[in-house]
Amino acid sequence: MESWKVGAQSRKLNLAQVDADPIVGKLTLKDAVEHLKDGLHRLKELAKALEKPTQAAAFGLGMAPQWRLQLDS
């Protein structure tokens, strides 16, 4: 259970899911927000990395799971 504050009120978040993705399932809401903030601040840098991938990255060799923003339109 993750503690969260909505306005002045404290809440407990139960985000457990049996069939959750192994990476997403371990992520707290706080971590998710931090990931998104960081990614949105570095959009230009991240886009450059996508435009010029290294050979290893192009084939996904030796890489840890990667985060990507799924834009909706």
Residues that bind other proteins (CB under 8 A): 6-10, 29, 33, 36-37, 40-44, 47-48, 50-51, 73
Considering the complex, state which of residue 5 and residue 26 has its C-beta at the smaller distance from other proteins. 5
- CB closer to other proteins, 8 vs 18: 8
d(Cα 11, Cα 3) in Å, to the nearest integer?
6
**CA-to-CA distance for 1 and 49, rounded, in angstroms?**
36
Rounded CA separation 34/43 (Å): 14
Determine phi and psi for 2, rounding to 5 degrees: -105, 135
3-class secondary structure, 51:
helix
Cβ-based nearer residue to other proteins, 29 or 56? 29
Give least dist CB 72 to other proteins, A. Answer: 9
Q: How far is the CB of 46 from other proteins (least distance, A)?
A: 8
